[in-house]
Amino acid sequence: MSTRHGALLDALRGVRWPARRAVGAALPGAHRSRQRGTSGEFTEYRLYRQGDDPRQLDWKLLARSDRAFVRLTDDRALVTTWLVVDGSASMAFPAPRAAPHGAPDGEHATKWDVACALAVGLGAVAHASGDPVGALVLASGGTRRFPPRTRRGTVHELTRVLNESAPGGTQPLAPALETLPVNCRTVVVSDLLGDLDATLAWGARTVAAGGMVEVVHVVAREELALPDRASLARDPETPSIEHIIDRGGHARYREAFDRFRAEAARRWRAAGAGYHEVVTGESLPRAVRAIVAGGAPGAGVPGNGAPGAGP
Would you tell me which residues interact with another protein (CB under 8 A)? 89-93, 95, 135, 138, 140-147, 157, 161, 168-171, 176, 179, 191, 193, 220, 223, 226-227, 229-239, 241-246, 248-249, 252-253, 256-257, 260
Considering beta carbons, is residue 75 or 86 the nearer one to another protein? 86
Cβ 195 to another protein, closest distance in Å?
A: 13
Nearest residue to 219 (alpha-carbon basis) of 308, 119, 142, 114: 114
Question: How does 24-43 read in b/e, with b if 16+ C-beta sit within 10 Å?
Answer: eebeebbbbbeeeeeeeeee
CA pair distance 56, 38, nearest whole angstrom: 7
Let me know the angle formed at the C-alpha of 114 by 12 and 86, rounded to the nearest 5 degrees.
115
Considering beta carbons, is residue 134 or 307 the nearer one to another protein? 134
CA pair distance 293, 287, nearest whole angstrom: 10
Cβ 234 to another protein, closest distance in Å?
A: 6
CA pair distance 281, 171, nearest whole angstrom: 26
CB 15 within 8 A of CB 287: no
Cβ 248 to another protein, closest distance in Å?
A: 8
Considering beta carbons, is residue 35 or 150 the nearer one to another protein? 150
- What residues have CB less than 8 Å from 311, skipping those under 6 apart? 295, 297
CA distances from residue 34 to 23, 79, 129, 290 in whole angstroms, order as listed = 6, 12, 18, 25
Cβ 147 to another protein, closest distance in Å?
A: 7
Cβ 28 to another protein, closest distance in Å?
A: 27
Considering beta carbons, is residue 33 or 165 the nearer one to another protein? 165
Question: How does 177-196 read in b/e, with b if 16+ C-beta sit within 10 Å?
Answer: beebeeebbbbbbbbbbbbb
Considering beta carbons, is residue 44 or 235 the nearer one to another protein? 235
Cβ 207 to another protein, closest distance in Å?
A: 24
Considering beta carbons, is residue 256 or 270 the nearer one to another protein? 256
Give the SS3 label for residue 116: helix
